[in-house]
Amino acid sequence: MILFKKSGDLGKWVETQQKKGETIGFVPTMGALHAGHLSLVDRSKKENDHTVCSIFINPTQFNDPRDFEKYPVTFEKDITLLLTSGASVLFLPSVKEIYPQGEKSFKNYELGYLDEILEGKYRPGHFQGVCMVVEKLLDIVHPDKLYLGQKDYQQCLVLVKLVSQLQLSPLPEVIVCPTLRENDGLAMSSRNARLKPIERMKAPSIFKALTFIKVNLHPGPMEGLKEQAGKFLENEGFRVDYIEIADMDDLKSITVWDGKQKAVALVAAFLGEIRLIDNLILGRSHE
């Protein structure tokens, strides 16, 4: 595995590979790697000649400065994991390398409705920061395929939209990979490491709430399904930001389900200081 810290050096390496006709898969991360991240690397390795993984804790996507300060940093462990994962390249840039002109954005990404609902509503500016960093990273890595986790469902839709607005060659294909979970159903997340033992025991209730919605969703009016799932989480000690049942493609809220519309249930909730998000595709049996 080659470690690059400078965009120019990585850019030249990518150019050399692409001149040989070889393909690049790209897995952007914020580090504190776990099996979920590695599953993206694994998928990319199967579908590309080379896999570039980046670790960059992007300051511009944190709406809460305390969350940024406390974000886990485990570079040494991450490098060891990546060495065994078979990634070809780790890109580990500094903040200055990504934002040489400073972190203030003068660009407004047109994300429409997606920037106003759910994560967009509860984390103002978050998706603007995500787009800012991903645009820069794509400009450096020029991947053929971009690998994202369904765990961050709304982010996947935002980045599909971003990619469609960029003038990139090649235009990367966005591949959304399934959410990896712990045995008790908790979606793997870098933030899980910050849960206190008692909170960690309660955390799988998010998946239970999503499963409750999936099992009880029947054609017709929702009849308080979200509210029941929300009450369950509150009784378990969560502070719920949102719990929503929405169209899979545009995340518009669904109140009456026709039995065919592709739907997803999404949750964001705090356990103590830690905000967890998760989602589950509805109306299918394989999840």
Stretch that binds ligand AMP, among 135-143, 184-192, 196-204, 260-268 (CB under 6 A): 184-192
Cβ nearer to ligand AMP, comparing 7 with 192: 192
Cβ nearer to ligand AMP, comparing 136 with 151: 151
Stretch that binds ligand AMP, among 89-97, 183-191, 228-236, 238-246 (CB under 6 A): 183-191
- Could you list the active site residues? 37
CA of 72: how far to CAs of 57, 150, 182, 191, 278, in Å?
9, 21, 19, 7, 19
The tally of CA atoms less than 13 A away on the side-chain side of residue 63 is 12
**What is the torsional sign of CA 272, 207, 134, 160?**
negative
Name which position in 154, 179, 192, 279 contacts ligand AMP (CB under 6 A).
179
Cβ nearer to ligand AMP, comparing 109 with 147: 147
Q: Is residue 189 part of the contact set for ligand AMP (CB under 6 A)? A: yes
CB atoms within 10 A of CB 193: 12
Min dist CB 269 to ligand AMP, Å, is 16
Q: Binding to ligand AMP (CB under 6 A): which residues in 10-69?
A: 29-30, 36-37, 39-40
Q: Which amino acid is at 91?
A: F
Cβ nearer to ligand AMP, comparing 149 with 230: 149
Give all strands of the β-sheet with 145-149 in edge-to-edge order. 2-4, 89-91, 50-55, 24-29, 145-149, 173-177
- How many residues in the shown chain lie near ligand AMP by CB under 6 A? 17
**What is the torsional sign of CA 101, 105, 108, 109?**
positive
The residue count of the chain comes to 287
Q: Binding string, 122-161, against ligand AMP, x = CB under 6 A?
A: --------------------------xx-xx---------
Q: Is residue 88 part of the contact set for ligand AMP (CB under 6 A)? A: no
- The β-bridge partners of 280 are 265
Stretch that binds ligand AMP, among 8-16, 111-119, 186-194, 279-287 (CB under 6 A): 186-194
Q: Which residues bind ligand AMP (CB under 6 A)?
A: 29-30, 36-37, 39-40, 148-149, 151-152, 177, 179-180, 187-190
